[in-house]
Amino acid sequence: MTIINLKSPRYFTVILIVFAFIVSLFLIIPSLYVIIWSFLGTANVGVLGKPTVVWYKEVLFNKQWIYAATYSVSLAIASSTISTISSVFYYYSSIWFRNHYQNLGWILMIGPLFFPTIIYGLALRATFNANNLSEWSALLVGHSVLSFPIQYFIIESNNERLNSKWIFSAVSLGATHWEVLKKIVFPLFHYPILLAFGIGFLLSFDEIVLATFVIDSPISTIPKKMWDAINYSHDPTPAVIGTSVLLIAILCFLLGKLIFRNKDNGY
Amino acid sequence: MNKIKVILSLVPLVLMFLFFWVPIIVWLQKWVFATNTISFWPDSSTRTLLLNTFYVASITSLVSTTIAHPITIFWWLASRRYRTILISVMMLPLFVGLLARNYSWIGMLSYLESTNISLLNIFSDQHILYTNFSVVLVMIYIFIPFAFFIIIQSFSTIGFAELNAGKTMGASFFESLHKLVLPRTWKQTIISILFIFASSFGYYVTPRMIGGGKNDLIGNLIWRYMEQGDLDSASLSALILLLLLVPLYVVSFILIVRWRRRILGR
């Protein structure tokens, strides 16, 4: 069973493996605690009781949580779709236009990456709420913007799938840009695009900062609802939601692997 | 066909400008250039918060990146199976959600306190929860995957052939690692530090939950003002935050563009 590909000094390999194991445990244990807490939790965080599914019933059959989940899911799908399409267009355009276009793109992208989200939340509030525009539109805009750079990096990190000469050849032979996208780019990039969409969905679903700054009405997203409950409730509701999302993500991942197993040429 | 190409290329840029920079400009125009009777110079309590924020953000960014770097080296050297396992481990916290993870840390740390484990004597009065230490610990936990995914970009462009070439020329494994590989990762490492520093500078969720209201950062102050409806004070504090971070943006932009030009040629 090969762990490390390259021949390196044995003690270095052992130290590296042990360190990676310890850090992996550090990252996994809180997530495992969330799953355990969802089944063994009581009304007080940190106090575990007997196995029960009462918290799952409290959340999954509660109308308010269902409304919040519907709101969060629809927002996440819409924002992730917008940002995924934008990032594909930006990636495709970067093949054609270099230098100034890419520098301009980076100047525009650097904001969402490095501006604290709290500042962007204030800006959205000043622009949308102050002008009586809907909260949903502010959240849609905000979530799309925050996901865009990350989705672009995901798509671009799979650059080796595509040789730009194929695109130039196709266009020189008369293909339109839509044909190039449809017949060359999307087939080669279906996995990164789906992955980018999934990551954008998760980022939007879990986004709390913009939600707390923009949402004033009772209709809120799931993270906002959990945040509002912090002062009076420490029950395992967040754990139930976290575990449910994790389970759905694993199922989607396995389904994706199954569907694209034969089409994906070893990627 | 050129029109379509131009439209396709402009759509993402226009969206980014309209959806991000226009709200920022509107906010700046509203709160910076409007008449404002509040003094721009922060009072002593705000200065204390800023110092605490700077301290927490610095430690978080440095430690997260320091921990993520050897993990990335492991990923780079590992076989495909262990690479996949490591990526899954790094992505797992993303699925579980930020609030759930914060709650899990509250549960675990309060359990450690209640069991009176002697290791806690190292920290004052056996308290771990609701201290600056616990806030930093959880923020490091949150940002390690971010640092990993940023630094991984540099390693993914370095092939084993270069290490093997160095070995053929008589260099030891560590010489090759030290002189061939690590110098090409320092830009991404710095980008990681700057990104995590900027992100944790505006953080308020984890300090609020794990710090218990006693270990606030500047983000908590902004959020409190916003909750009370005092948008003047919230915007002023946010503006101070923004001005402090401007040099970071400039440095990050230069590093990112130069790294991309060197590696990708574009």
Query: Mind listing the pLDDT tens digit for each residue in B210-238?
Result: 888 777 888 999 999 888 888 888 888 88
Nearest alpha-carbon partner for A73 in A266, A202, A251: A202
Subunit contact A19:B99, Cβ cutoff 8 A: no
Q: Considering chain B, what percentage of its residues have pLDDT values greater than 90?
A: 19
User: At what angle are helices A135-156 and B2-16 packed, to 10 degrees?
Assistant: 120
- Shortest Cα distance, chain B CAs vs residue A113, angstroms: 7
Q: Which residue of A has its CA nearest to B141?
A: A27
Subunit contact A104:B13, Cβ cutoff 8 A: yes
Subunit contact B219:A116, Cβ cutoff 8 A: yes
Subunit contact A46:B111, Cβ cutoff 8 A: yes
- Report how far residue B128's alpha carbon sits from residue B146's, in angstroms, rounded to the nearest whole number: 25
Q: Could you report the predicted ipTM of this complex, rounded to two decimals?
A: 0.86
CB pairs under 8 A between A and B: 276
- Shortest Cα distance, chain B CAs vs residue A68, angstroms: 15
pLDDT of residue B176: 81
Q: Which residue of A has its CA nearest to B198?
A: A114
> Worst-scoring range by mean pLDDT, A133-137, B19-23, B143-147, B162-166?
B162-166
Residue A251: both structure tokens together: 């199922």
Q: Give me the residue from B21, B70, B99 closest to A238, CB to CB.
A: B99
Band (B41; pLDDT cuts 50, 70, 90): low
Say if residues A30 and B108 touch (Cβ distance below 8 Å). Answer: yes
In the 8-state DSSP scheme, what is residue B183? G
Q: Could you list the beta-strand ranges (E) of chain B.
A: none
Subunit contact B89:A27, Cβ cutoff 8 A: yes
- Report how far residue B251's alpha carbon sits from residue B256's, in angstroms, rounded to the nearest whole number: 9
Task: Give the mean model confidence (pLDDT) for residues A225-250.
Answer: 84
Query: Mind listing the pLDDT tens digit for each residue in A14-60?
Result: 888 999 999 999 999 999 998 888 888 887 777 788 888 888 888 88
Query: Mind listing the pLDDT tens digit for each residue in B159-204?
Result: 777 778 888 888 888 888 888 888 888 888 888 998 899 889 888 9
Subunit contact A114:B173, Cβ cutoff 8 A: no
Looking at beta carbons, which residues of chain A come within 8 Å of B139? none
pLDDT of residue A6: 62
Asked if B208 has any chain A CB less than 8 Å from its own CB, the reply is yes
Query: In sequence order, what are the beta bridge partners of A61?
Result: none
Residue A220: both structure tokens together: 């809120």
Q: Give me the residue from A8, A33, A130 closest to B107, CB to CB.
A: A33
pLDDT of residue B117: 57
Query: In sequence order, what are the beta bridge partners of B9?
Result: none
Query: Mind listing the pLDDT tens digit for each residue in A140-179?
Result: 999 999 999 889 888 888 877 788 888 889 989 988 888 8
Residue B20 CB neighbour total at 10 angstroms: 24
Nearest alpha-carbon partner for B233 in B241, A57, A217, A146: B241
Task: Give the mean model confidence (pLDDT) for residues A94-121.
Answer: 84
Asked if B89 has any chain A CB less than 8 Å from its own CB, the reply is yes
